[in-house]
Amino acid sequence: MQPLKEKIRQEGKVLSSEILKVDSFLNHQIDPVLMQQIGQEFARRFAEDRITRVLTIESSGIAPSVMAGLVLGVPVVFARKRKSLTLTDDFYEAKVYSFTKQETNSIVVAKTHLTEADKVLVIDDFLANGQAAEGLIEIVRQAGAELAGVGIVIEKSFQEGGKRLREKGIRVESLAEVAALSEGKVTFVGDNE
């Protein structure tokens, strides 16, 4: 998605060979116009899929998801992060391990917000190792809902998440695919040089 890639080139900060900072439009400050274009692009890619709900995770997944939900005309549910698990029958729950933070957290969704009648589009801001996406997919499975696919704003293709999901037959639509981060420069998949 061209406007997104241009924004990443202009404002993205390469913090290391693994981390891209995009606080000026996605993770701290939000660019509503770009976010609207992102939502339209997700909606276009999943237009034929009869989506009934968008599922994401707090906090940075919410903005692109709301824009997609607006265009698709469906509710947006965001999983909440929990430190410890208070077991209850009212929630679907999955464990998410973060390689970046080296800790496991629970993510939960109230059963009232996702049912077996749903066809779900999972959206997140970043795809790195895929742990968050896999947690959301586990929640879709627990609900007995159908997974249409996963929409990602920025996929870091040099990490394993995208490969892991696609190998399971899951449809992954990433709007920007970062091939490498080096010497302060972002290289996208498909860049010639």
Enumerate binding residues for ligand G4P (CB under 6 A). Answer: 19-22, 27, 59-61, 98-100, 125-132, 156, 161
Q: How far is it, in rounded angstroms, from Cα 46 to Cα 147? A: 12
Nearer Cβ to ligand G4P (120/132)? 132
156 annotated to bind ligand: yes
Q: Does 125 bind Na ion (CB under 5 A)?
A: yes
Q: How far is the CB of 153 from ligand G4P (least distance, A)?
A: 9
Nearer Cβ to ligand G4P (22/74)? 22
Alpha helices in the chain (DSSP H): 2-11, 32-45, 62-72, 131-143, 161-167
- Number of residues forming the site for Na ion (CB under 5 A): 4
Do 174 and 139 contact (CB within 8 A), yes or no?
Answer: no
CB atoms within 10 A of CB 63: 24
Q: How far is the CB of 55 from ligand G4P (least distance, A)?
A: 14
132 annotated to bind ligand: yes
Q: How far is the CB of 117 from Na ion (least distance, A)?
A: 27
Q: Does 177 bind Na ion (CB under 5 A)?
A: no
Q: Does 60 bind Na ion (CB under 5 A)?
A: yes
Measured CA to CA in angstroms, residue 90 lies from 34, 120, 137, 186 at distances of: 36, 20, 18, 43
Q: How far is the CB of 7 from ligand G4P (least distance, A)?
A: 13
Q: How far is the CB of 58 from Na ion (least distance, A)?
A: 8
Q: How far is it, in rounded angstroms, from Cα 33 to Cα 25? A: 10
Residue type, 113: H
Q: Are strands 103-110 and 76-82 parallel, antiparallel or unpaired?
A: antiparallel
Nearer Cβ to Na ion (79/114)? 79
Q: How far is it, in rounded angstroms, from Cα 35 to Cα 4? A: 9
Do 51 and 74 contact (CB within 8 A), yes or no?
Answer: yes
163 annotated to bind ligand: no
The binding site comprises 20, 27, 128-132, 156
The binding site for 5-phospho-alpha-D-ribose 1-diphosphate comprises 128-132
Provide the binding-site residues for Na ion, judged by CB under 5 A: 60-61, 124-125
The binding site for xanthine comprises 20, 27, 156
